Structure 1
Amino acid sequence: MHAYRSHSCADLTAANVGDTVRLSGWVHRVRDHGGILFIDLRDHYGMTQVLCDPDSPVFKDMEKVRSEWCICIDGTVKARDPELVNDKIPTGEIEVFVRGLEVLGAAAELPLMVFGDQEYPEETRLKYRYLDLRREKMQRNMALRSDVVASMRRRMWDQKFREYQTPIITASSPEGARDFLVPSRLHPGKFYALPQAPQQFKQLLMVSGFDKYFQIAPCFRDEDPRADRSPTDFYQLDLEMSFVEQQDVFDTIQPVITGIFEEFGGGRNVDQTWEQISYRDAALWYGSDKPDLRNPIKMQVVSEHFAGSGFAIFAKLLEQDGTEVRAIPAPKGGSRKFCDRMNKFAQQEGLPGMGYIFWREKTADSVAQEMGITVKEAQAKLKSGEVEGGMEAAGPLAKNIGPERTEAIRQQLDLGLGDAAFFLGGKPKAFEGVAGKARNVIGNELGLTDLNRFAFAWIVDFPIYEQDEETGKIDFEHNPFSMPQGGMDALNGDPLEVLGYQYDLACNGYELVSGAIRNHKPEIMFKAFEIAGYGKEEVEKRFGGMVNAFQYGAPPHGGCAAGVDRIVMLLADADNLRDVILFPMNQKAEDLMMSAPSTPMSDQLMELGLRVIPQD
């Protein structure tokens, strides 16, 4: 028999009754039922119940065993009594009577329990990550991640892509985030960098004639952490193709992503048709360039209904250039309680508030106020039909702008009895973020968001440039290496109207994929950077390797990168990336388990020609 196990803890069934077996694993929990010890023995594959009574030669040793001890047992497979069969596990029909025991590794007192679903502080979980990873949920998440990556690879090979590895130590390259710098011992005073992405290398592969490249690539960015972003490193499905247009990239990656979500999405609906939405429309309709389309709410511009109205705040605001008023429809949100709650939400997000109108059945109170009669008289008139009942608009805004404007808003938004609308005004960039969050909250609270769906959309037509309001300076708003739509001709016009062949894939409120058709022509690249104030010499200095290569017959090419961590996070129904990464950092970019970052030894610094300057 094998030194440690003849079977895994998920293998044994009723067909093994009477067999002598050897199992190894961890003690999941111990139960003492009147002198009979029951132990749930766990390994990576499953759970088997083992038992021991005073007739066993190792009973006294088994009494010493505690949770999370690693043990090896020999025993005989027995059938469970019919009333004790556990249908929830594959081994639920049997149990193993223990006749031999070897303690492979005793466990000290546990800082966190593996058994059960108890919540522990994140700092504890990360410091003792090896224990946290033993938990069933974490084992399941990490197995899911491994399976997703394997499936990605198969799907890419099926589309005749080959996987190539690009360097991990390279030159610093400003790509939108801070680099992790690596000092060079052989070249004192100079530094390598960990790549933010394989971007330049994969483009150089296209120049080299490889045509179709992919890689499950590690990327390194010194960023501030958040729930859907790692502060140090992450993995992406990176791909690049030659002789393609934007739609070719879409047609390549869509079956890969769709297949992954169908395979691992737990039966949830997966969109088969992916809408293409311009960046500007996404900002207008959803307040975000990564909209959650499970929520059907679309925001609209309603400025015309407030211009010159009795609501002075919006009326005066609209007299300023670049301002507008947008409405967030809220079907089924027509109660003052809900409206007040959303107004408070806006205040918590840093805005003065959020105006609202809701539509309700006409009340005796409102009739009495309108006609200058008592409520009792109003009730009588409504009952007799002398005053027509029906629907009325309520809320401070409705009173200020009057019934005609209110009705025009209702018709534009296609709302009715029991519905509401919320309003935000100003320069769009100042309130779009809050409007987008409010849209999500409204959709969730009113049950409008379809939680059993993965909803995808391509966000396209990103503007390449933006203008600083104070200085008037033109700079890049998005990826400077995207090919401008219209090529050189577009760059000779208004920079703020230039759109790039750049695209993101949004799913359920997250950006899953980002990519572009690349600017492969040096003359267009130099012109694009010149508009943003970067001279030819500076471009050659920063991106010399790629610019030089483009002078030797660069093909049209493009690609994208899909975030592996975010995809697995969505599939696992996790709220945080750290639940799908084996050994993540904490919110301060610290590895509590390995004590990183750490202070270097003096001789290490001397060898590198470095000195640490203490910070005040």
Structure 2
Amino acid sequence: MRSHYCGQLNSGLVDQEVSLCGWVHRRRDHGGVIFIDLRDRDGLVQVVFDPDRPEVFALAEQVRNEYVLQVTGRVRRRPAGTENPDLATGEVEVLGLELRVLNAAETPPIQLDEHGLEISEELRLRYRYLDLRRPEMQQRLRLRSRITGVLRGFLDEQGFLDIETPILTKSTPEGARDYLVPSRTYPGQFFALPQSPQLFKQLLMMSGLDRYYQIARCFRDEDLRADRQPEFTQLDIEVSFMTEDELMGLMEQMFRGLFRAVLDVELPDPLPRLTYQEAIRRFGSDRPDLRVPLELVDVADLLQGVDFKVFAGPATDPEGRVAALRLPRGGELSRKEIDDYTKFVGIYGAKGLAYIKVNDWTARGRDGLQSPILKFLPDEAVSGIMARTSATDGDLIFFGADKAHVVNEALGALRVKLGHDCGLAATGWHPLWVVDFPMFERDAQTGRWMALHHPFTAPKEDQLDRLDTDPGACQSRAYDLVLNGTEIGGGSIRIHREAVQRRIFQLLNISDEQAEDRFGFLLKALKYGCPPHGGIAFGLDRLVMLMTGADSIRDVMAFPKTQSAACLLTAAPSEVDAAQLNELSLRLKART
């Protein structure tokens, strides 16, 4: 039905006859000449209908926005002075010779051109098939397809095998809640939708397939945020007989090629690396945004003896932290702005936000500082803070004092917000690896050890003894790839010995009976010559979100759910009738 896509037309096709199919983006009637901007997935082109062909002209008069048309015409240059430099096809137009209305359209509930009002996300998701016609959305999905194509091409060239793993599988909770699927043929029993292909890809390594990848659909029944969905896509990778350095090097090569091919951007070679401890100490986060130059500075040792319990308490608490964050030229902030930042850190559990304004330290010393907390601080503490933070006249120093995790989260988030609010953030792409993660963290409520990544992550070989003597000090062979403050990939070298895996389960309070019930097939497989192996999974939705500049992963997914895990387009989830429930041996019970 078509010879070309609309966006493909250019001056090289002048005087050629073409056939186009698409939607009416806009129709204009100018003094007896009708202009129709015809749109398809490749772009827009202007089609002109003259009254010289009365039947065709009369039909063109009847069309409206979003009508589906087939047009046959001749490509010609636009008259001088009427070119549109903002349009890829702006040098040419099509003289319409034949016109066929393939389908009419009612007035859409959302406007699709650039002059449309701001559309609510709820309306966009309810009419997603219309929203996806917008050029912006189509460009994002085209780029997504381009990204997956480049990633597949690299992995294929490196000898990886694209292997599918099951969607209906056993419930083996990995932190989030599973989506459960009742079995009709096994009444009272359930499948689970996979949170990731983790165990199956490890089994593939035990099968000797050596290099695996999959663009995998994953499911997690968890609370949602802008960058999370109940179902999402990840690029899943696993290899045998590679160290973490070798695997990270290969992934760096893949990402440098991706950014070069898709965005014409050169990433650093090699990518920088930070240990987990250094990332937390300097940036308050294990996914630091390196575009922001601000850093946290520890000052607890300077404040241990002060008569200010807000500082002295955390300064002497082994689980506490007192840190400072210097904002260059921050003295220009108003009291209202400081109050707003105080409310902001409250989101992360901070009880307040102490500060010192450095008005004229150079000439007046302590008298040149301004702060309600100065009266509690001796001269040596003030001098130490000024020296350690390298503060100069005009700066502002913020302080966080609390349990370490509260200070890290609050000042870490404040650091990023200040950097962007005050124009300090650099442009471009700033990736890094974060390595040397702890194996475990304490559950705040139960006090039990929890796996920081997942229970199949291997501890460092020289720290196996710490599993019995000091689990909290044991480091894992895990690594995360962070891009502009967003974690886009996480992986590790896996446990390949049954005895070590059982020790990890025991530390995580998983009894032998529970381990056999949940992971018995894995433990059995580890007995039969499991090779050293490791892998990584990249959040494809997050990656595309970053590379397209979208605000949410919902804007780079064709049919996403809302933040309440509902599909407005299909009105799912929905009730099912009693007959279906009966087939599944299920009966609904009111939640208590």
Q: Indicate the TM-score class for this superposition, using the shorter chain for normalisation.
A: over 0.9
* Structure 2 residue aligned with 1:88: 86
Q: SS state of the match for residue 7, structure 2?
A: coil
2:58 pairs, out of 44, 57, 60, with: 60
Counterpart check, 1:72 vs 2:70 = yes
Q: SS state of the match for residue 384, structure 2?
A: helix
* Structure 2 residue aligned with 1:258: 256
Q: SS state of the match for residue 83, structure 1?
A: coil
Check conservation: 2:361, 2:392, Cα contact below 8 A. Answer: no
* Structure 2 residue aligned with 1:354: 353
* Structure 1 residue aligned with 2:25: 28
Check conservation: 1:271, 1:453, Cα contact below 8 A. Answer: no
CA–CA distance in 1 between the matches of 2:270 and 2:128? 40
Counterpart check, 1:542 vs 2:518 = yes
CA–CA distance in 2 between the matches of 1:11 and 1:478? 47
For the pair shown, which has the larger CA radius of gyration, 1 or 2? 1
Check conservation: 2:284, 2:409, Cα contact below 8 A. Answer: yes
CA–CA distance in 1 between the matches of 2:391 and 2:263? 34
The 1:438–1:15 alpha-carbon spacing in structure 2 relative to 1, beyond 3 Å, is closer
Check conservation: 2:160, 2:212, Cα contact below 8 A. Answer: yes
CA–CA distance in 2 between the matches of 1:415 and 1:195? 51
* Structure 2 residue aligned with 1:114: 112
CA–CA distance in 1 between the matches of 2:366 and 2:302? 23
Check conservation: 1:462, 1:502, Cα contact below 8 A. Answer: yes
CA–CA distance in 2 between the matches of 1:456 and 1:390? 40
> Cα RMSD between the aligned structures?
2.2
TM-aligned CA deviation for residue 566 of structure 1: 0.7
* Structure 1 residue aligned with 2:280: 283
Using the TM superposition, name which of 34-43 and 275-284 deviates more: 275-284
The 1:197–1:347 alpha-carbon spacing in structure 2 relative to 1, beyond 3 Å, is closer
CA–CA distance in 1 between the matches of 2:517 and 2:476? 24
Using the TM superposition, name which of 344-353 and 400-409 deviates more: 344-353
Using the TM superposition, name which of 593-602 and 221-230 deviates more: 593-602
Check conservation: 1:207, 1:553, Cα contact below 8 A. Answer: yes
TM-aligned CA deviation for residue 303 of structure 1: 0.8
Map 1:507-526 → 2, pairs under 5 A:
507-526=483-502
CA–CA distance in 2 between the matches of 1:446 and 1:478? 34
Q: SS state of the match for residue 109, structure 2?
A: coil
* Structure 2 residue aligned with 1:376: none
TM-aligned CA deviation for residue 390 of structure 1: 11
Counterpart check, 1:593 vs 2:588 = no
* Structure 1 residue aligned with 2:200: 201
Check conservation: 1:271, 1:454, Cα contact below 8 A. Answer: no
1:456 pairs, out of 431, 434, 438, with: 431
Give the letter for the 2:439 counterpart: I
Give the letter for the 2:188 counterpart: G
Check conservation: 1:333, 1:339, Cα contact below 8 A. Answer: no
CA–CA distance in 1 between the matches of 2:436 and 2:325? 24
Map 1:358-397 → 2, pairs under 5 A:
358-361=357-360, 392-397=368-373
* Structure 1 residue aligned with 2:414: 438
Map 1:217-616 → 2, pairs under 5 A:
217-230=216-229, 232-265=230-263, 267=265, 270-337=267-334, 339-347=338-346, 350-361=349-360, 392-450=368-426, 452-468=427-443, 472-485=447-460, 486=462, 488-615=464-591
Check conservation: 1:279, 1:289, Cα contact below 8 A. Answer: yes
CA–CA distance in 2 between the matches of 1:468 and 1:513? 24
Deviations 1:301-330 (A, max 9, x none): 101222222434312443544222111121
Give the letter for the 2:133 counterpart: R
TM-aligned CA deviation for residue 350 of structure 1: 4.8
TM-score normalised by the chain length of structure 1:
0.90
TM-aligned CA deviation for residue 339 of structure 1: 4.1
Deviations 1:456-514 (A, max 9, x none): 22222222223356654434343211111236423221121122112211111111111
The 1:472–1:571 alpha-carbon spacing in structure 2 relative to 1, beyond 3 Å, is closer
Using the TM superposition, name which of 72-81 and 428-437 deviates more: 72-81
Give the letter for the 1:190 counterpart: Q
1:102 pairs, out of 80, 90, 100, with: 100
CA–CA distance in 2 between the matches of 1:227 and 1:164? 30
CA–CA distance in 1 between the matches of 2:350 and 2:479? 31
CA–CA distance in 2 between the matches of 1:304 and 1:390? 20
Check conservation: 1:78, 1:94, Cα contact below 8 A. Answer: yes
CA–CA distance in 1 between the matches of 2:138 and 2:179? 31
Map 1:174-213 → 2, pairs under 5 A:
174-213=173-212
CA–CA distance in 2 between the matches of 1:210 and 1:581? 31
For structure 2, the 5+ residue unaligned runs are none
The 1:9–1:478 alpha-carbon spacing in structure 2 relative to 1, beyond 3 Å, is closer
Give the letter for the 2:481 counterpart: L
Give the letter for the 1:201 counterpart: F
Check conservation: 2:72, 2:96, Cα contact below 8 A. Answer: yes
Using the TM superposition, name which of 544-553 and 345-354 deviates more: 345-354
Give the letter for the 1:359 counterpart: V
TM-aligned CA deviation for residue 138 of structure 1: 0.4
Q: SS state of the match for residue 108, structure 2?
A: coil
Matched length: 587
Give the letter for the 2:83 counterpart: V
The 1:550–1:55 alpha-carbon spacing in structure 2 relative to 1, beyond 3 Å, is same
Q: SS state of the match for residue 92, structure 1?
A: coil
Using the TM superposition, name which of 387-396 and 279-288 deviates more: 387-396
TM-aligned CA deviation for residue 38 of structure 1: 0.9
TM-aligned CA deviation for residue 15 of structure 1: 4.3
Q: SS state of the match for residue 85, structure 1?
A: coil
Check conservation: 2:330, 2:395, Cα contact below 8 A. Answer: yes
**Percent of matched pairs sharing the same residue:** 41
CA–CA distance in 1 between the matches of 2:513 and 2:547? 46
The 1:514–1:72 alpha-carbon spacing in structure 2 relative to 1, beyond 3 Å, is same
The 1:97–1:479 alpha-carbon spacing in structure 2 relative to 1, beyond 3 Å, is same
For structure 1, the 5+ residue unaligned runs are 364-386
Give the letter for the 2:31 counterpart: G
TM-aligned CA deviation for residue 96 of structure 1: 2.1
CA–CA distance in 1 between the matches of 2:82 and 2:445? 75
Q: SS state of the match for residue 34, structure 2?
A: strand
The 1:283–1:16 alpha-carbon spacing in structure 2 relative to 1, beyond 3 Å, is closer
TM-aligned CA deviation for residue 403 of structure 1: 4.0
Deviations 1:117-176 (A, max 9, x none): 642111110111111111111010000000000000111122222211111211111111
Q: SS state of the match for residue 523, structure 2?
A: helix
